A and B are shown apart, each in its own frame.
Chain A
Amino acid sequence: MKLLNQSLVYISIPIFLIISLWAVVFYFSMLYEIHDSIDDGLDNYKLLIIQKSKRDATLLSKTDFDESNYAIRKIDPPTEPISKDLYKDTLMYMLNEQEMEPVRLLTTTFQHNDQYYKLKVISSMVEEDDQIRNLFWASICLYVLLLTSIVVIDKVVLQRLWKPFYSFLEQLKNFRIDQGSTIPKMQTKTQEFVELGKATNTLINRSLGAYHHQKQFIGNAAHELQTPLAIITNKLELLLEENRLNDTDAETIAQVMQTTTRLIQLNKSLLLLSKIENKQFFDNQSLSLNQLLHQVVAELADFRQFKNIALTIDETELVEVTMDPHLAYILVANLIKNAIFHNTENGQVCLMIGGKTLIVKNTSSAGKLDEQKMFKRFYRATSKKKSTGLGLPVIQAICNLYHFSISYSYTNEHSFKITFT
C-alpha cells in the first residue's frame, strides 16, 4: 500500500471518532443552551401575563390555550406553600404539523385577590429528531470534507516532500555494484532523508569495499591454488616420463595424478561459479542462440558419432539472447555435453529451439533425477567417480544471473527447458 493511502487509513479512523464525539457533545450543549433560552423566555412571558391579569381580569378566565400560549385556571388554595416554577417537556398537538410536537411547558401558581390561580405557559421547541438528523448529516459532511482535503493536501504535500526520496529510490534500483554505477545522491534538505541517504551511501561503500575485496580474493585464490596444482601435475608428469619407475609406482602416481586432475576441475568449476555469482561476467551482447547451438553440436559431432547417438535439432524460430558470449557458450555446451555424455549407446538427443526457449532432451540409463537436489553443489546422480557435481550448478548460476528460468522434467528421457527473458 502506498504511503499516501496508508496515512489516509490511519487518519480517517481517529477523525471519525473525534467528529462523532464532538457531535454528541455539541448536540447536548446546544440543547442545553436552547432550553435555557426558552426557559428565560417563558419566565418573562409568565411575569408579563401575571402583570396583565392584574389589570385585565378577563385574562383570568382563559382556561384553554387555544390560539395563545397560556392557560389560567382557578385552583383551591394550596395546602403547601406556593411551589416554585416548574419546567417540563411535553407534547402538544400542532395544527400546522398535524401531529404531536414537543413543547416546553412552564407551570406556576400565583395569587390574585386572595384567589389562587395556576398558570401554564408553553413555547414551541426545536424538534429533537430533526435536530439530530441535521447534526448527523452536518457531521458526515464535515467528515467527508476533512478527508477529501486531507487527501488533496497529502497528495500535494507528500508528493513534494517525498520527491527526493522517490528519485533516490530510482537511483538505488538502477545501482549495480559491479558496473561502477555512480553512488545514488539524495538531493534534499529534509533531515530524515539526508540521514537515509548518508546511511545508504555508507552501506553501499561498505558493500563496494567487500565486493572489490572478494573480487581480489577470487583472483588471489585462483593464483594461490592454481600454481601449486600446476606444480603437482607437472612434476608428476615429468616423473612418469622417467623410465625408472616400476609398474606399481607408476600405477600409484597415475592415481595421484587423476585425483589431482579432479582437484583442478573442482577448483576451476568453483572459481567459475563464484565468478558468475559475483557477476564478474558482464560483456553482454546480443548473440544468436541457434548459431551457438550449431557450433557446439559440430564440435561434439565426433564424440556423438562414436557413441552412435542420434541428434535432431528442431528450430522453429531464431532466438537472440543478450548475454556474455563466454557464459552463453558454457551454458549451451554444458547442456549438450551432459546430454551426450550421460547418454546410452545408440541413444538420442533432441534439441528444440524457438519461442524464447531451449529444450534439451536425452535418453539415459539413469532414471529421473532428484529435482530437489540436482542443482545443489556436489550432487551426483550416478556414482561416476570423476564428475565434480558442479555441472548443473554452473548452468543454474548462469540462468540465475540472467533471470532465465530452468526446469527439468522426466518422461522416459531427461528434459531440460530454459526460458530466456
Chain B
Amino acid sequence: MKILVIEDEQGLRDAIKDSLQKEAYLVETADDFNTAYEKLFIYEYDCILLDIMLPNGSGLDILKELKKANKTENVIIISARDSLEDKLTGLALGADDYLTKPFHIAELNARVKAVLRRNKLEGKNIIELGNISFDLEERLLLVEEQLVNLNRKEFDILKYFLFNKNRLVTRTALAEYVWGDHIDQADNFDFIYSQIKNIRKKLADSGAKIEIQAVYGVGYKMVEL
C-alpha cells in the first residue's frame, strides 16, 4: 500500500509518516503544491493525505485536478479548517474523508484503514484476527465461530481497536471517538474504563486470542496473543 502525505508542516508530516510506516505502508511525502502535483501525476497511490493550505496553492485545487484527470485515489483531507462549508466543499470535490487538525494518531489510522478497506471490498466487510472474526456490516463478533454479544458502544470501541492493532489508543482518543466533538467533559473516563472492562471480560470468556492491554495508564493497546 502506497500513501502520499501532502503536508507543509514538517513536524506533523514526520509524525504521520512514522505512524503510517508502523502499519507497514509505503509512505512518501510532499511539502508543497508543486511537489505534490508532480508526484501525483507520476506515481500511483492507494491513499492521499491532503492538507488544504499549502505553499504555492490550495489542496482543493489538487482535488480538482485529480477529478479532472479521472484519478480515483482515496483522499483524506487533513485541515485545520473546521467549518462545515470546507468539509462539504472537500467532499464534493471527491475527497473520501475529512479530518480536522489536531487529530489523534489512532483516529488517523482508523480513517486510513476504513478508506482503504472500502476500496478493496469484495462483497464482505470482515476483519479476521487470530481466532476472531469481526463483521463490520452485520456488527457481529464471532470467536471460534461462536457469537459474542456486544452492545453498540462496545462494538464501536472494539472496531476502533481492531483498526489500531498493536498501536496505542489513548483514552482521550477513545473518548472523542465515542462521544464525538464539542465535548467539554473529556475527563469522564469512568465509562470508558467500564466498557473496556466488559469487553476484556467478554473476550476472555469466549477464549478470544486477542487482548486489550493498558499502556502506561494513558491508554490501551490491542494485541494478538
Q: Are A269 and B217 in contact (CB under 8 A)?
A: no
Nearest residue, chain B, Cβ from A240: B168
Residues of A within 8 A of B182 (CB): 268-269, 272, 330, 333-334, 394
B19, B152, B191 — most chain A CB neighbours (10 Å): B191
Residues facing B in A363-407 (CB within 8 A) are: 384-388, 390-391, 394
Query: Which among B19, B103, B218 has the highest number of chain A CB atoms within 10 Å?
Result: B218
Question: How many Å lie between the Cα of A250 and that of B170 in the bound state?
Answer: 13
**Size of A's binding interface in residues, CB under 8 A:** 58
A251/B216 contact (C-beta < 8 A), A230-B101, A230-B102 known:
yes
- Binary flags per residue of B158-185, CB closer than 8 Å to A gives 1, else 0: 0000000001101011000001111111
A257 at interface by CB-CB < 8 Å: yes
A-B contact pairs, 26 of them (CB 8 A): A219-B81, A222-B82, A229-B101, A230-B80, A234-B103, A234-B104, A235-B11, A240-B168, A240-B215, A240-B219, A241-B22, A253-B216, A254-B217, A254-B218, A257-B218, A258-B172, A268-B181, A272-B182, A275-B83, A306-B191, A306-B194, A326-B84, A337-B183, A386-B186, A387-B184, A387-B185
In this complex, how many residues of chain B approach chain A with their Cβ under 8 Å: the count is: 47
Shortest Cβ gap from A389 to chain B (Å): 8
Minimum CB–CB distance for A250 against chain B, Å: 4
Across the interface, which residues of B come within 8 angstroms of A391, CB to CB?
A: 184-185
Q: For the complex, what is the distance from the CA of A91 to the CA of B41, rounded to whole Å?
A: 125
Closest to A269 in B: B184
Bound CA–CA A272/B80 (angstroms): 13
- Asked if B136 is an interface residue, CB under 8 A from chain A, the answer is no
Cβ-closest chain A residue relative to B19: A238
Q: Is the CB of A264 within 8 A of B102?
A: yes
Q: How far is the CA of A240 from the CA of B35 in the complex (A)?
A: 32
Cβ–Cβ contact B170 & A237, under 8 A: yes
Contact between B187 and A386, CB atoms less than 8 A apart: yes
Name B's A-contacting residues (CB within 8 A): 9, 11-12, 15-16, 18-19, 22, 53, 80-84, 100-106, 151-153, 167-168, 170, 172-173, 179-188, 190-191, 194, 215-219
Residues of chain A at the chain B interface (Cβ within 8 Å): 219, 222-235, 237-238, 240-241, 245, 247, 250-251, 253-254, 257-258, 261-262, 264-265, 268-269, 271-272, 275, 280, 283, 299, 302-303, 306-307, 326, 330, 333-334, 337-338, 341, 384-388, 390-391, 394
**Interchain CB contact under 8 A, B186 and A265:** yes
CB B91 to nearest CB in A, in angstroms, measures 15
Asked if residues B216 and A240 are in contact (CB atoms below 8 Å), the reply is yes
Q: Are B12 and A234 in contact (CB under 8 A)?
A: yes
Minimum CB–CB distance for B19 against chain A, Å: 6
| A334 to B182 Cα, complex, angstroms | 8
B157 to chain A, nearest CB (A): 10
Q: How far is the CB of B49 from chain A (nearest CB, A)?
A: 12
A420 CB to closest chain B CB (Å) equals 21
Is A237 in contact with B104, judged by CB distance below 8 angstroms? yes
B19 touches A387 (CB 8 A): no
Chain B positions within 8 Å of A262 at CB level? 186
Of all chain B residues, the one with the shortest Cβ separation from A227 is: B9
Please report the C-alpha to C-alpha distance between residue A225 and residue B219 in the assembled complex, in whole angstroms. 25
> How far, in whole Å, are A115 and B15 apart by their CA atoms in the complex?
145
